[in-house]
Structure 1
Amino acid sequence: MGQRGASAAFMPSKYVFPGGAVDTTDADVPLATPLDPLAARMLQAAPGPHALAIAAIRELWEETGLALGQPGPWPSPVPEGWEGFAARGLCPSAEGLRFVFRAITPPGRPRRFDARFFLADAAQVAGDAADFSAACDELSHLHWIALTEVRRLDLPFITEVVLSEVSLLLGGGDQPGVPFFDNSGTTPTFRRITDV
């Protein structure tokens, strides 16, 4: 996790997961290993599963310097923003990326997002998972933190909800579908996305 800047318009000073928007070019970036078919089926809405997986891998790379990738050549030219990733001889890989939560920001917030949250094992990181030296400066105080200690940080509400779901999953309490906290309408709803 990392801390957002005190002057940020959205969630200032909060500790958050790395993340951000899908870029228009994300759908064109190749994956060395595709997203799990079950996750892909549950992510069919626009912008689509491939673009969402690439965006998650790219944002993790940009904000932490951690690469979810496998050795391999890139087609030429390397897309903008991926030069450092490719320079390490890596292609992005969605192997082990698990879709665990979706949330739409409530109305009245400075910024609204339709966010998908992914979980990956740190063993999937190519290289040293404790080396944040290639990170941009969007997040400060980057560090790994135990789930038992994370609630000591200043977290946004939705991050606490996602962490509760992750704790449940890691404890073996698998539920059907992916939780979806939906604030797109006038009444907030909580439901599950299922593979139907």
Structure 2
Amino acid sequence: MSKAIIITVGTGETVSHGICCAIRQQNPNYIVFCLTKESEVKTLPLILQDETMKDRKYDGFILKDENDVEEIRFECQQIIEGLFKKNFAPKDIVVDYTPGTKAMSAGVVLAALDKKLGTLVYVAGKRNKNGRVVSGTEKVISLEPNRTYADSLFKGAVDLFNSCQFDSSLEIVKEAQSLISDIDFAEKISLLKDLVSA
């Protein structure tokens, strides 16, 4: 299964260290860096020289305005659509929103939620006096927003099943199943599909 990651990129050496930590942890086949003009010059070279990037495929995308949330959301939606065209499924696309500006983080998260991407990650750890995570203390935290959406769809499918609307229930089950790859959830889905098909 191929995995892609979209990473917002701010400036600074500690930023590059956190990004490389997230890349190592996620181990993507393909990376898209969402950059500012400044981070393209100051941060991207630090990332690319790290051993983590050896033999990795990536693209850099310079955002038009790193402070315009709506423009960033639109541009990130286009990036995500491009990943879909490269045959990455929504559940196989990860977004790391930690290292960019606040507007970059908000824009990429809104785009990820809109496109129902599988995982959002951020890097936490001890912070220095400037509020940045100290190199070497990084911990990657994962969130699965589609889990909430899939659970909601599953509940709706059960309600439809209980109302004898089996075809509609089956359609919603299929949509929920496409959102996440969780063994326990897959078992619940399989049970409901079996009941609907009986």
| Structure index of larger Rg | 2
- Shared fold, TM over 0.5: no
Q: Which has the higher contact order (CA 8 A, sep 6+)?
A: 1
Q: TM-score range by the shorter chain?
A: under 0.3
TM-score normalized by the length of structure 1: 0.25
TM-score normalized by the length of structure 2: 0.24
